[in-house]
């Protein structure tokens, strides 16, 4: 980047480190090493094999690598919590940083903000597991694909209510998190929080509190 775009401006978006690490765990587990498979490893077990889930939340380590090549003025840091509280002001701040008209910034409609713990992806995988035995049948599969979406949704709901459907839904989501696990990693991030707070010149004490992360909030996809 420094070689090919030396005048680039970087908008660096930071999420609560623990929320990001947990979401990373679900994403990596379900999409890369074990695509479409039920969770057989807890968050801590997965981190032992794939420390990237934690290391990618050490934001100052990444920021310093950029600043080895670019001045501090080339980077604008945005916290997702700031964007959720005041999205329009966050957008205007980015416009100012990019030296474009901030008065023209507007948000026409606001979507609901919610924690990204890959709920939709898990729900999609559950649906694939439940319906896969039928969609893979040579004659029946193509016929199902031609059915109206509303018919397929009703059929899926009926299948999901069966014993096999319920057991599949129960097996797919990750193992529920415990307060002990959260506390351990919140303590791990305390030092990096302080370092980042000094760099940004702002209070990040809210990151020391437990974020609201459920083990799963899966709904029918």
pLDDT higher than 90, residue 195:
yes
11 SS3 class: strand
Angle, CA of 181, 187 and 188, to the nearest 5°: 90
pTM of the model as a whole: 0.70
Give residue 62's pLDDT: 92
Q: What is the pLDDT of residue 182?
A: 87
Q: Is the pLDDT of residue 214 over 90?
A: no
Q: What is the pLDDT of residue 13?
A: 95
How far is the CA of 119 from the CAs of 26, 55, 135, in angstroms? 9, 23, 23
Read off the pLDDT of residues 13-47 as tens digits, 9 standing for 90 and up: 999 998 899 888 888 877 766 676 777 888 888 88
Name all domains of the chain by residue range, CATH numbers in brackets.
10-117+177-208 (3.40.50.300)
Choose between 168 and 12: higher pLDDT: 12
């Amino acid at each position: 980047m420094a070689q090919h775009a030396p005048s680039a401006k970087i908008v660096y978006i930071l999420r609560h480190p623990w929320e990001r690490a947990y979401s990373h765990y679900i994403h990596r587990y379900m999409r890369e090493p074990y695509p479409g498979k039920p969770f057989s490893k807890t968050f801590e077990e997965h981190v032992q094999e794939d420390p990237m889930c934690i290391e990618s939340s050490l934001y100052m380590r990444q920021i310093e690598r950029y600043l080895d090549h670019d001045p501090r003025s080339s980077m604008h840091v945005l916290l997702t919590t700031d964007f959720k509280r005041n999205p329009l002001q966050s957008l205007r701040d980015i416009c100012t940083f990019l030296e474009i008209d901030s008065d023209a910034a507007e948000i026409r409609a606001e979507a609901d903000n919610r924690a990204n713990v890959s709920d939709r992806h898990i729900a999609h995988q559950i649906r694939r597991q439940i319906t896969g035995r039928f969609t893979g049948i040579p004659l029946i599969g193509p016929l199902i694909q031609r059915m109206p979406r509303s018919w397929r949704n009703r059929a899926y709901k009926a299948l999901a209510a069966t014993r096999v459907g319920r057991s599949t839904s129960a097996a797919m989501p990750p193992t529920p998190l415990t307060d002990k696990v959260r506390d351990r990693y919140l303590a791990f991030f305390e030092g990096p929080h302080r370092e980042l707070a000094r760099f940004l010149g702002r209070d990040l004490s809210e990151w020391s509190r437990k974020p609201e992360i459920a083990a799963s909030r899966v709904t029918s996809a």
